[in-house]
Amino acid sequence: MSIELSQFFQVFFEESFEGLDVMESGLMSLDPANVDNEMINSIFRAAHSIKGGSATFGFASVAEFTHVLETLLDEVRAETRGMSTDMVDLFLQSVDCLRELLEGLQAEVPVDGARADGLRQKFEAILDIPADAVVSETVEVEPVAIGWQIKLVGGEDILRTGNEPIRMFTQLGELGELTITTDFSRLPAFNALTLESCYLSWQLTLMADNVKRADVDEVFEWVVDECEITIEPIMDESVPVAAEQVEAPEATEAVEEDVPDADSIGLAAPQTQKKAEPGSIRVDIDKIDTLINMVGELVITQSMLGQIGADLSSDNVSKLQEGLQDLERNVQVLHESVMQVRMLPISFTFNRFPRMVRDLSRQLNKKIDLVVKGEQTELDKTVMEKIGDPLVHLLRNCLDHGIETPAERVKAGKPETGVISLNAFHQGGNIIIQINDDGAGLPKEKILAKARKNGIIGPDVVLSDEQINDLIFQPGFSTAEVVSDVSGRGVGMDVVRRNVQELGGHVSVKSAEGVGSTFSISLPLTLAILDGQLVRVGNQVYIFPLVSIVESLSVDKKQVSTVAGACDLLRLREEYIPIIPLHDAFGIEPDSRNLEKSLIVVVESENTKVGLVVDELQAQQQVVIKSLETNYQSVEGISGATILGDGTVSLILDIGGIVTIGQNTTHMQIKAA
């Protein structure tokens, strides 16, 4: 009987990626001067498992590369060879290379083996293995590439991920002479256009001597899974040279680049980030046991209710009520148990950051320690997957802008080594993630001057410290004097805020000059369930996220002021709050247009409070969120929908979107309170 091995591929890939995480974590904590034998054994076992599995499934490229890696690790653990910082760096590069090879195999796409070959040669040099003992190949002779012909078919979601093509074109232009031809053939009719979608393709011709294929690949490495990319060499057949093996650059975080005029190549601004979700999840066996027990309880309750239903009479009404109470209790426990299945420790996201901090601190010539707390704090799998990129942006800014160089820190009376703390904890129904650094803090005067120069605020506007700090989240805002590969291009912080808002959370910053900064992200524990307040407007029932509500009140006309050319303002405890009638925003006929006969729900979004006029407050309840975009299309001001107990569909309001609708409807300018 033959066995189809492909059915086990997914398990192999999952276990291999977990093994790579173990290797990277172990290498990061390894002290070359005092090698921990148990740690080396752990790294060796992970590499050995990957080699064995890849050999079993016929993944020769992975097995051959891991073999030489394992050989060197075996010598280190046998104490016949010492460890050095350079070897640790080489092992970490090998982890990156293995991850790249495995991802290619998993996606069933070819991967350039030049990087693996280059690293393998370095290992063989350390092991003193002759190159011809492992591989003997005839070196081919091929013409010189004098340029590259590139076809880029933009993926529909490329702008949502923040990977704007014009930044890639700028990077290509730095390599040589670039010619761009835009193909508009995929553009739909005007009424079918979606602002966040990309419909364009480009034909690029890069004329440049001595530009290797790896240099071109590096430009597109962050969109290779989202776009169709074809790269062909333009050859000068009159000058043949020996083919060379090119070591691909080490994988790094996405680099934000200067962008040329978007109108010249027909591009819209980048939108939010969206990634494909993995198809599986590891679940603790205790959680599965709880689910099985609860299903058993439900079967018993269903059997009891079925028996009562078959002989329904006035005598067993009390038993029916008891059965319904049992059913309600069991469903509630089952619901909580199912939600627990999706909860994973946030360490799955945090584990990627020590390596990033290590590499970037070396690149920036800074000494930085990363302190991680709360790794076991649990968060919904979907939320955790989507919060990774915003955290990367914030950490990179702390590394580049926050922490000073060792000389600057000593001059300021600080230790040479800066400290960045990453912490996660539960607070109420939310999870709070904080990134704190003991660096220079935000330069408030510089931020204020730049905001006035860019026209973000007027020349005479007076802002509080909190409002000044909030300016860094404005699109295109940056105070960096020198543009670097890490940050300072004015793109990113607004994307961070937008991505966090899409998850139903908010981000804020507190800072003291010379002391440091703290970025705080507040997120719901899950995107599947929402604590909501039902409100009625006319004949429609909407749901407000309970976390966004500040208070609800009846209005005395004396509290309301009308501003010419703007909206009404509600005076509430020395604070003026814009009033947005929801019936105007959604085009619904209300019970009354008299404010004194209506209710106002004061909500808050990103330090902006507004009062939403409704006809009636109804119950508070947990609701199951259904994606409107998946089942219909994205609608401004609406974050999702749910089905109420009576079977009707109710829309869940996006408070940030409602504020935008109110601004467009009333032509008002809402300032942070």
**Residues labelled catalytic:** 48, 70, 397
Q: Where are the beta strands (DSSP E) in 25-183?
A: 141-153, 177-183
Q: Are strands 368-373 and 418-427 parallel, antiparallel or unpaired?
A: parallel
Do 175 and 206 meet the contact criterion of CB atoms below 8 Å apart? yes
Distances (CA, A) of 192 to 159, 269, 628, 661: 17, 18, 18, 21
Q: Which residues contact 273 (CB under 8 A, 6 or more apart)?
A: 160, 161, 162, 386, 389, 495, 499
Question: Rounded to an integer, what distance in angstroms lies between the CA atom of residue 246 and that of residue 250?
Answer: 12
Q: Which residues contact 497 (CB under 8 A, 6 or more apart)?
A: 473, 506, 507, 606
The CB density around residue 431, as the number of other CB atoms within 10 Å, is 25
- Residue identified by tokens 């026209």 is 455
Helix-then-strand count for the chain, H and E: 20, 22
Question: Rounded to an integer, what distance in angstroms lies between the CA atom of residue 215 and that of residue 206?
Answer: 12
Do 199 and 186 meet the contact criterion of CB atoms below 8 Å apart? yes
CA angle (176 as vertex; 170, 177 as ends), nearest 5? 85
Gap between the terminal Cα atoms of the chain: 72
Among residues 15, 79, 25, 81, which one has the least CA distance to residue 48? Answer: 15
Which secondary-structure segment (H or E) carries 427?
Answer: strand 418-427
